[in-house]
Amino acid sequence: MEVQAKAKWVRTSPRKVRLVARTLRNLPVSEALVACSFMPKAAARDVAKVIRSAQANAENNFNLVKDDLVIKDIRVEPGPMLKRGQPRAMGRLFSIFKRTSHITAIVEDRPGVARRRTAALPRAPQPTSRPAPTPAAAAAARAAAAIEPATTESDERVAPARPKKAKAESKAPVSKTPAEGKKTEAKKPDVKKTEAKKKDDGKKDTKEKKSK
């Protein structure tokens, strides 16, 4: 059964109303009203009023169940146009047309066709949430903590000391054998002899030059 409601001389252009009417066809009345409440268009308010009026007519005049009502069609026709003007340069008149529209909402009874919202599914347990410990578990944890020896952070972090190597061994003087000591002592007089020969040779050269 079809029930309709009309709204005439609505001060909105038909083009703006048709943009809203296209999105609401073949929707249940309850969902269409919710959609109108969230639309950012001003024409959605006028369309919602007409839909509510059609719903009230079907419920009160024809005893129909409002949950089974579906919007069959929303017609938008142009109404009378108010002509106004705005003065412009050089004495000209800029025409302003204030348009109106007639809105007709047709509601139909379709039992069992209206979409029902399904029940929300149960949520999965959150991984971060932890169940609260029971009193018995809390008492058992306290008893275990009392039995175990208490440890501090310093005991856990301190590492065992490593044995230090004796530095005296590396710094100990190297002992020389008696044979090596004799060799070094024997080499020293040779050096002195060579130095003395050089001095004597220099003196002889100077004496020869003077004699000549």
Answer whether residue 158 is part of any domain: no
Are residues 99 and 183 part of one domain? no
* Domain finish residue from 85, 109, 133: 109
pLDDT one-digit tens code per residue, 108-127: 998 876 555 555 556 666 66
Q: Is residue 72 part of a domain?
A: yes
61-100 burial: b if 16+ Cβ within 10 Å, else e = eeebeeebbbbbebebeebeeeeeeeeeeeeeeeeeeebb
pLDDT reported for residue 50: 97
Average pLDDT over residues 16-29: 94
Confidence of residue 145 (pLDDT cuts 50, 70, 90): confident
- Its domain, for residue 195, covers 179-211
The answer on 187 and 97 residing in a single domain is: no
Q: Are strands 93-98 and 2-10 parallel, antiparallel or unpaired?
A: unpaired
Question: Has residue 161 been placed in a domain?
Answer: no
Spatial contact of 72 and 29, defined as CB atoms under 8 Å apart: no
Does any domain span residue 89? yes
- Please give the tally of structural domains in the chain: 2
Would residue 120 count as lying in a domain?
no
Q: How far apart are CA 13 and CA 77, in angstroms?
A: 10
Mean pLDDT of the chain, nearest integer: 79
**39 three-state secondary structure:** coil
Mean local confidence (pLDDT), 24-39: 94
Which of 99, 102, 101 lies closest to 81, judged by CA? 99
CA–CA distance, 5 with 61 (Å, rounded to integer): 12
Confirm whether 154 is domain-assigned: no
Residue 74 within any structural domain of the chain: yes
Beta strands in the chain (DSSP E): 2-10, 69-78, 82-87, 93-98, 101-109
Q: How far is CA 54 from the centre of its chain?
A: 46
Q: Is 94 helix (H, G, I), strand (E, B) or coil?
A: strand
Residue 168 belongs to some domain of the structure: no
Look up the CATH number of the domain holding residue 16. Answer: 3.90.470.10
Last residue of a domain, one of 77, 109, 141: 109
Q: Indicate the pLDDT class of residue 141, thresholds 50, 70 and 90.
A: confident
Average the pLDDT over each of 50-59, 80-89, 165-174 and give the range with the smallest value: 165-174
Do 190 and 103 share a structural domain? no
The answer on 11 and 102 residing in a single domain is yes
Residues 100, 10, single domain; the answer is: yes
List, for residues 69-113, the tens digit of each pLDDT value: 999 999 999 999 999 999 999 999 999 999 999 999 999 998 876
User: Which of 109, 128, 145 marks a domain boundary?
Assistant: 109
Confidence (pLDDT) at 175: 54
